[in-house]
């Protein structure tokens, strides 16, 4: 058995804990028979230990791991206001061995709890796990970084981005760096455009309290999709560790900006109106419970960026994400430039030189190639080599928790990278707030506004 780590979840009666963290803890225990874990929850709801244990049992059952419950037999729940210094100190007092504090709290509350933590003694090596959104703009993210690093050093801060726990995203690195077929052509000399797309068919699903203040740009692009861009665009790190990998990703983000520094020409936003999605009637976003239509929150966002390096100059990177779309589509599409010349005799010069596509859920890699053959052996057509990547057995949060408990921050978002992600989207936020980019509409269940052919502005 390893030395026990105490995992203290603040906000333990909330949605993230019950839906994502507890099932991940269950899966982790199942996968790691030697893992010794002490689990405590705290939150403002007046839960008894029994109510908490019921929540734990329910979550463990969702991943078929009820047999693991005995391994966290001492788990308990404390009603506490974690913005109260003494209440917070009491939760930490007496913890033996290493400690992980997981902030499953609304962002403003997490920040207040951090302010109180500054002068509370913590066990050596304490790790802080913070959820998105990290700050609300570049300045507030910088202030939060300064605050957090007064509590523990940067290499004990885990800013969670569960996309970085998804094997398909990490797979990009293997495909990029380990294939002679791919590695030499991973640059503007050969790549025409890159699209990172995360379209959901789900609508708001009662998440107005959070989502109406965030919108698609902050909820998905500022965090997850820019991390994907960083992995696609970074230079090859010497090692995939917390220094080299995160240096490479941060450098790529530092070089990234909205194309032409022109948010009016290079960004689009839209909001769903009533329709049918996932076979269910969906009301207009403005009529969803808890939404304040005056806020003008977008449910579909698209920004096109450029990465200002020798490798990527001139290549548009488009990031797009939305809700209540007809088809769930999560993919990374790398389109190669057309070849310079094809021999006379071959007909149908293609508009591109092939496409490499990573699809998420189900996870697949596809290579679209221009081929000839069939009835007319000299006519070019398109064919797809496609392979499933197998259904990953681990939840993204299981990967994330495993890294947090091991104190391995390589796949957590470093403070400066979090600030860069806000810097990149800020011109879009400003232009959207000022009304310079019109809000378009699309019926729920459609492919988006009529004018938006996926890759044409
Ligand atoms: P919830 O509102 O469901 O949960 C937050 C919890 O914190 C609630 O139980 C709340 O109690 C509790 N809380 C609030 N104030 C205090 C306080 N002063 N002291 C103690 N407990 C308090 O939010 P989520 O679980 O959805 O989100 C938590 C974080 O995770 C957010 O940063 C969110 O952005 C992030 N996240 C969430 C995801 C999700 O799918 N839910 C996905 C990815 C990230 P009460 O209800 O009584 O106020």
Answer yes or no: are the C-beta atoms of 76 and 52 closer than 8 Å.
yes
Q: For domain 5-131, which architecture applies?
A: 3-Layer(aba) Sandwich (3.40)
Nearest by Cα to 200 from 289, 303, 282: 282
Closest CA to 159 of 204, 137, 127, 190: 127
Nearest atom of ligand 1 to the alpha carbon of 13: 9
What pLDDT shows up at residue 1?
58
> How much is the pLDDT for 278?
85
| 104 CA distance to ligand 1 middle (Å) | 5
What per-residue confidence (pLDDT) applies to 45? 94
Tell me the per-residue pLDDT of 45-57, one tens digit each, with 9 for 90 and over. Answer: 999 999 999 999 9
3-state secondary structure of 138: helix
- Convert the pLDDT of each residue in 56-72 to its tens digit: 999 999 999 999 999 99
- Is the beta carbon of 44 within 6 A of some atom in ligand 1? yes
pLDDT over 80 at 3, yes or no: no
CA of 12 relative to ligand 1 center, distance in Å: 8
Residues 282, 442: contact at Cβ < 8 Å?
no
Which pair of tokens denotes residue 230? Answer: 């960083």
**CB of 83 within 8 A of CB of 90?**
no
Which residue's C-alpha comes closest to atom 17 of ligand 1? 81
- Work out the pLDDT band at 391, boundaries 50, 70, 90: low
User: In this structure, which residue's CA is closest to atom 9 in ligand 1?
Assistant: 14
Q: Do the strands 267-273 and 300-307 form a parallel or antiparallel pair, or are they unpaired?
A: antiparallel
Report strand pairing: 127-130 vs 256-258.
unpaired
User: Quick one: average pLDDT of 377-399?
Assistant: 88
DSSP-derived secondary structure for 42-62: EESS---HHHHHHHHHHHHHH
Q: Name the residue with the closest Cα to ligand 1, atom 38.
A: 16
CA distance 50 to 36: 22
Burial bucket for residue 351 (CB in 10 Å: 0-12, 13-18, 19+) = exposed
Q: Determine which residue's CA is closest to atom 19 belonging to ligand 1.
A: 81
From 24, 41, 44, mutation site for ligand 1 pocket: most ligand atoms within 8 A of C-beta: 44
Question: Are the C-beta atoms of residues 324 and 271 closer than 8 Å to each other?
Answer: no
Judged against a pLDDT cut of 80, whether residue 453 lies above it is answered with no
231 close to 169: Cβ distance less than 8 angstroms: yes
Q: Which of 106, 112, 131 for a ligand 1 pocket mutation test, highest count of atoms within 8 Å of Cβ?
A: 106
pLDDT tens, position by position, 337-377 = 999 999 988 988 789 999 999 998 888 999 999 998 778 88
Q: Is 331 in the pocket of ligand 1 (CB under 6 A)?
A: no
Q: Is the CB of 72 under 6 A from ligand 1?
A: no
Q: Which of 324, 252, 333 is nearest to 288 (CA)?
A: 324
Q: What is the DSSP secondary structure assignment for residue 281, as one 8-state letter?
A: E
Q: What is the mean pLDDT of the chain?
A: 94
The answer to whether residues 109 and 83 touch, using CB atoms and an 8 Å cutoff, is yes
341 annotated active-site: no
pLDDT band at 2 (very low <50, low <70, confident <90, very high): low
Instruction: Enter the ipTM.
Output: 0.98
CA of 163 to the centre of ligand 1 (A): 19
Contacts of 81 (CB under 8 A, 6+ apart): 44, 87
Residues 115-136, mean pLDDT to the nearest whole number: 96
Fold of 164-443: Dihydrodipicolinate Reductase; domain 2 (3.30.360)
Per the CB < 8 A criterion, the answer to whether 266 and 217 are in contact is no
Q: Ligand 1 mean position to 457 CA, how many Å?
A: 37
Answer whether the bond into residue 133 is a cis peptide, omega within 30°.
Answer: yes
Task: Please tell me if the CB atom of residue 43 comes closer than 6 angstroms to any atom of ligand 1.
Answer: yes
Query: Which atom of ligand 1 lies at the shortest distance from residue 214's CA?
Result: 34
Q: Name the nearest CA neighbour of 160 among 20, 265, 287, 347.
A: 20
Instruction: Give the Cα separation of 387 and 391 in Å (integer).
Output: 12
Among 77, 82, 84, 104, which residue has the most ligand 1 atoms within 8 Å of its CB, making it the best to mutate?
A: 104
Task: Tell whether ligand 1 has an atom less than 6 A from the beta carbon of residue 363.
Answer: no
Encoded tokens for 36? 């010794």
Q: How remote is the CA of residue 399 from the centroid of ligand 1, in Å?
A: 21
Question: Which pLDDT score, from 0 to 100, does residue 454 have?
Answer: 54
At 15, phi and psi to the nearest 5?
Answer: -70, -45
| pLDDT, position 167 | 79
Residue whose CA is closest, atom 4 of ligand 1? 14
> What distance in angstroms lies between residue 173's CA and the mean position of ligand 1's atoms?
33
Contact yes or no for 325/199 (Cβ under 8 A): yes
Partnered with residue 360 across adjacent β-strands are none
Same fold yes or no, 5-131 and 164-443: no
- Say how many Å lie between the CA of residue 110 and the centre of ligand 1: 9
Residue with the smallest CA separation from ligand 1 atom 18 is 81
Domain extent listing, the chain: 5-131, 164-443
The catalytically annotated residue of 40, 190, 224, 341 is 224
Does the Cβ of 106 fall within 6 Å of ligand 1? yes
> How does pLDDT run across 256-289, given as a tens digit for each residue?
999 999 999 999 999 999 999 888 999 999 999 9
Q: How far is it, in rounded angstroms, from Cα 108 to Cα 102? A: 15
Tokens representing residue 278 in the block = 């996932």
pTM over 0.90: yes
Question: Cα-atom radius of gyration of the chain, to the nearest Å?
Answer: 23
- Judged on CB neighbours under 10 Å (0-12, 13-18, 19+), 336 is middle
Amino acid 436: pLDDT: 98
Atom of ligand 1 nearest to the CA of 210: 34
**429 within ligand 1 shell (Cβ under 6 A):** no
Distance from residue 1's CA to the centre of ligand 1 (Å): 32
Indicate which atom in ligand 1 lies nearest the CA of residue 209. Answer: 2
Per-residue CA distances from 171 to 87, 144, 182, 198, 342 (Å): 43, 31, 13, 17, 33
Closest ligand 1 atom number to CA of residue 103:
29
How large a percentage of the chain has pLDDT more than 70? 98
């Amino acid at each position: 058995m390893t030395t026990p780590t105490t995992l203290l979840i603040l906000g333990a009666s909330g949605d993230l804990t019950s839906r994502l963290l507890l099932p991940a803890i269950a899966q982790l225990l199942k996968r790691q028979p030697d893992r010794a874990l002490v689990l405590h929850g705290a939150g403002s709801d007046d839960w008894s230990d029994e109510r908490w244990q019921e929540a734990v049992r329910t979550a463990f059952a969702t991943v078929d791991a009820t047999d693991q419950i005995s391994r966290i037999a001492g788990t308990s729940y404390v009603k506490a206001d974690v913005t109260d210094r003494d209440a917070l100190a009491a939760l930490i007092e007496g913890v033996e061995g290493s400690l992980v504090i997981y902030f499953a709290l609304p962002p403003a509350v997490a920040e207040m709890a951090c302010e109180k933590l500054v002068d509370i003694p913590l066990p050596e090596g304490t790790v802080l796990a913070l959820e998105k959104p990290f700050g609300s703009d570049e300045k507030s993210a910088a202030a939060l970084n300064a605050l957090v690093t007064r509590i523990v050093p940067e290499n004990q801060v885990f800013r969670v981005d569960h996309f970085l726990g998804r094997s398909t995203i990490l797979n990009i690195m293997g495909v990029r760096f380990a294939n002679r077929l791919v590695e030499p052509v991973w640059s503007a000399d050969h790549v025409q455009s890159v699209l990172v797309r995360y379209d959901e068919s789900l609508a708001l699903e009662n998440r107005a309290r959070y989502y109406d203040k965030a919108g698609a740009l902050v909820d998905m692009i500022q965090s997850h999709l820019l991390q994907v861009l960083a992995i696609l665009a970074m230079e090859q790190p010497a090692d995939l560790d917390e220094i080299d990998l995160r240096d490479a990703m941060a450098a790529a983000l530092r070089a990234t900006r909205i194309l032409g520094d022109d948010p009016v020409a290079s960004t689009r936003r839209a909001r769903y109106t009533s329709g049918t999605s996932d076979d269910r009637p969906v009301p207009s976003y403005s009529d969803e419970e808890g939404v304040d239509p005056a806020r003008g929150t977008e449910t579909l966002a698209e920004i096109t960026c450029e990465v200002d390096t020798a490798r990527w100059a001139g290549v548009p990177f488009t990031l797009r994400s939305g809700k209540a779309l007809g088809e769930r589509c999560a993919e990374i599409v790398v389109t190669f430039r057309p070849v310079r010349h094809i021999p006379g005799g071959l007909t149908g010069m293609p508009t591109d030189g092939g496409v490499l596509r990573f699809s998420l859920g189900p996870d697949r890699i596809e290579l679209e190639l221009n081929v000839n053959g069939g009835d007319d052996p000299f006519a070019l057509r398109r064919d797809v080599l496609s392979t499933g990547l197998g259904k990953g057995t681990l939840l993204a949060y299981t990967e994330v928790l495993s890294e947090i408990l091991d104190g391995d921050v390589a796949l957590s978002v470093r403070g400066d990278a979090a600030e860069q992600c806000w810097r990149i989207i800020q011109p879009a936020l400003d232009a959207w707030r000022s009304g310079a980019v019109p809000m378009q509409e699309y019926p729920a269940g459609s492919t988006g506004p009529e004018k938006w052919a996926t890759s044409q502005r």
